[in-house]
């Protein structure tokens, strides 16, 4: 019914992932598996509603209708069993802009902001560019998957610590945090007056048997110290429409967020983004179910291929996101040598693990949001390059 195996030519569409390879890797002769969007078409209903709107031909100033907020309220309830109110929602042009707004709204230059490494690299730059200090609370690998290090977190929190940026589910290690883990993290933040900015952009991309819990949905107390950032950009592959939203139940925090965003001119959105969000939330359930099945098969395909054909590369069983965290340490290469090897010899455009923090040395991140034939070709290239080393 939905053809995720169909190859769609993205080259020549100003596509970051496919058209910026030369700038990033020094060659465009590789299979790009870096930028976190998918090579799949979005849902039919979104294409249709945008086409209809385009036909109207007038694209003047537009307000956000109630139906936009209602679609978010319904989605959060059916997906996450989370009851939210219209007033708690503020639209945004992206999750990264929202994180930057939070940093400006709730912290001052010189304050400490905690991130759990290895982690999505704009967390570092968002903190640093605003003159705040990045404090790393590295995740621990227990031989099967990554876990939070609560003792390290307790040690690192000081009277300068104002905020923790949570990545839930976690990019790049693919963890879907369990409710108990989030409760423990939340308890530490509550006790130390640390605000939680929870980036939940990947919250709909959950592999079967796992379940996403918005940290703010756990208790009233946690809701009061949390800013939740959500979006349709990963779920329905709509990143180019630059539309997301934050959920803030605490009226004081919400007002601070709102005024900071207003001051920076970041409450803007666009006609197509509003329509696409509402339409995908209203009509996208079936498509999402099929997508998750395809992604789970892609993940299992990679795990099997590595186990059987490239045992030198270890992968963790991704629980959520369409990203896989690959450990190349057995090759015994420095990060520079590894990059040279993967990009120039294997000709696969993985994302350099070191960008996610010091803990990413020896790792690369693979985006599996693509047709399986492309995934297979990339794995075969890795296999051949490693065999012929
Ligand atoms: C964890 C995480 N947050 C945010 C983003 C980007 O969000 P946006 O494009 O809405 O700024 C990404 C994209 O890869 C991501 O993985």
pLDDT, tens only, 46-55: 999 999 999 9
For every residue of 139-190, DSSP letters joined together read -EE-SSSEE--HHHHHHH--TTEEEEEEESSPTTT-----HHHHHHHHHHHH
In this structure, the residues whose C-beta lies within 6 A of any atom of ligand 1 are: 36, 94-96, 120, 167, 171, 199, 201, 231, 233, 239, 244
pLDDT above 70 covers a percentage of the chain that reads 100
Mean pLDDT over residues 88-97, rounded?
98
Residue-level pLDDT at 172: 98
Does residue 301 surpass a pLDDT of 90?
A: yes
Mean pLDDT over residues 251-277, rounded?
96
CB 216 within 8 A of CB 64: no
Angle, helices 271-283 vs 66-80, to 10°: value is: 40
Residue-level pLDDT at 268: 87
Task: Indicate the average pLDDT of the chain.
Answer: 97
User: Which residue lies with its CA nearest to atom 13 of ligand 1?
Assistant: 36
Residue-level pLDDT at 11: 95
Residue-level pLDDT at 228: 99
Residue-level pLDDT at 171: 98
Measured torsion, CA atoms of residues 204, 272, 98, 137, in degrees rounded to the nearest 10: 30
Query: pLDDT tens, 379-389?
Result: 999 999 999 98
Residue-level pLDDT at 1: 84
Distance 177 CA to ligand 1 centre (A): 18
What confidence tier does 61 reach under pLDDT thresholds 50, 70, 90? very high
User: Which residue lies with its CA nearest to atom 10 of ligand 1?
Assistant: 94
What confidence tier does 141 reach under pLDDT thresholds 50, 70, 90? very high
User: Which residue lies with its CA nearest to atom 7 of ligand 1?
Assistant: 95
Residue-level pLDDT at 246: 98
CA angle 204, 166, 158 (to 5 degrees): 170
Mean pLDDT over residues 337-354, rounded?
98
Distance 55 CA to ligand 1 centre (A): 31
Measured in residues, the chain has a length of 389
Does residue 338 surpass a pLDDT of 90?
A: yes
Say what the pTM is: 0.98
Query: pLDDT tens, 113-139?
Result: 999 999 999 999 999 999 999 999 999
Residue-level pLDDT at 269: 82
Distance 310 CA to ligand 1 centre (A): 30
Determine how many CB atoms are found less than 10 A away from the CB of residue 242: 17
Query: pLDDT tens, 21-44?
Result: 999 999 999 999 999 999 999 999
Mean pLDDT over residues 348-360, rounded?
98
Mean pLDDT over residues 215-232, rounded?
98
* Domains of the chain: residue spans and CATH: 16-43+285-387 (3.90.1150.10), 59-283 (3.40.640.10)
Phi, psi at residue 289, to the nearest 5°?
Answer: -60, -45
Distance 231 CA to ligand 1 centre (A): 9
């Amino acid at each position: 019914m939905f053809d995720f195996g169909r190859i769609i030519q993205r080259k020549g569409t100003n596509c970051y992932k496919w058209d910026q390879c030369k700038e990033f890797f020094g060659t465009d002769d590789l299979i790009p598996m870096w930028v976190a969007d998918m090579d799949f078409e979005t849902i039919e209903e979104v294409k249709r509603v945008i086409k209809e709107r385009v036909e109207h031909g007038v694209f003047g100033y537009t307000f956000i209708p109630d139906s936009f907020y209602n679609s978010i309220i319904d989605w959060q309830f059916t997906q996450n069993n989370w009851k939210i109110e219209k007033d708690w929602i503020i639209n945004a042009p992206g999750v990264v802009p929202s994180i930057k707004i939070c940093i400006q709204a709730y912290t001052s230059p010189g304050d400490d902001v905690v991130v759990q490494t290895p982690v999505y690299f704009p967390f570092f730059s968002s903190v640093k560019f605003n003159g705040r200090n990045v404090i790393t609370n590295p995740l621990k690998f227990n031989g099967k998957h990554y876990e939070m290090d609560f003792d390290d977190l307790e040690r690192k929190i000081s009277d300068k610590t104002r905020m923790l940026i949570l990545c839930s589910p976690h990019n790049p290690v693919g963890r879907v945090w369990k409710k108990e883990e989030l409760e423990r993290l939340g308890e530490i933040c509550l006790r130390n007056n640390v605000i939680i900015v929870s980036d939940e952009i990947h919250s709909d991309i959950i592999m079967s048997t796992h379940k996403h819990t918005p940290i703010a949905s756990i208790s009233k107390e946690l809701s009061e110290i949390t800013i939740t950032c959500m979006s349709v950009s990963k779920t329905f592959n709509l990143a180019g429409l630059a539309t997301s939203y934050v959920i803030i139940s605490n009226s004081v925090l919400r007002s601070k967020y709102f005024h900071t965003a207003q001051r920076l001119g970041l409450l803007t959105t666009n006609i197509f983004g509003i329509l696409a969000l509402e339409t995908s939330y209203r009509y996208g359930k079936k498509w999402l179910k099929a997508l998750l099945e395809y992604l789970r098969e892609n993940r299992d395909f990679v795990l099997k291929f590595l186990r059987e054909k490239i045992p030198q590369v270890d992968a963790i069983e991704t629980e959520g996101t369409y990203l896989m965290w690959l450990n190349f340490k057995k090759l015994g290469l420095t990060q520079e040598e590894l990059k040279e090897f993967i990009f120039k010899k294997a000709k696969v455009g993985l994302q350099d693990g070191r960008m996610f923090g010091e803990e990413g040395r020896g790792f690369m991140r693979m985006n599996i949001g693509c047709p399986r034939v492309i995934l297979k070709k990339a794995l075969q290239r890795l296999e051949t390059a490693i065999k012929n080393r």
